[in-house]
Amino acid sequence: MAENSISSFENLTVWQESQSFAVAVYKVSRSFPKEELFGITSQIRRAVSSISANIAEGFGRTSTKDKLHFYTIAYGSLLETKNFLYLSEKLGYLDTEQLDQLITHSVSCQKLINAFRAGLRQ
C-alpha cells in the first residue's frame, strides 16, 4: 500500500509489524539476567523501539529524501536488533527456538521496510 494513500502512520503495515516485533522482543527480554538490565536488555529494547519510531517520524516528513532517511534509520535499527538477538542466544539468554521465531519476525519487517523504501524511490 502506497504511503500517499494513507492518512496516518498507524495504518501502515510496516509500522504495525515493527510494533508487533518490538512487543515480542520486549517480552522475551524480560527473562534476561537482571545484571543485563543496563546492558544488552536496554540496548536491544532501544534498538527495537527505534524501528517503529523512525517509521512514524519518516511518515510525518514532507520530502521523499527526508522520508527515506528515517526509513533507512529504521532499517539500521532492525539490523542492530538482529545483532543483539544473535548475541543473546550466544550468551544463553535465548534458546534456539526463541531466536528462530524472532529472526523470522525480523525478516518479515526487513522485507516490508525494503519494499516501502523501494516504493518511495519510484
SS3 2: coil
pLDDT for 50: 98
Cell of 96: 534456539
pLDDT tens sequence across 73-82: 999 999 999 9
Instruction: Say how many CA atoms lie within 13 Å of 22 toward its Cβ.
Output: 20
| Domain ranges for the chain | 10-121
CATH 1.20.1440.60 matches 10-121:
yes
Query: In whole angstroms, what is the distance from residue 113 CA to residue 122 CA?
Result: 15
pLDDT for 108: 97
> Which residues 6+ apart lie within 8 Å of 94 measured at CB?
28, 85, 88, 102
What pTM was computed for the model?
0.92
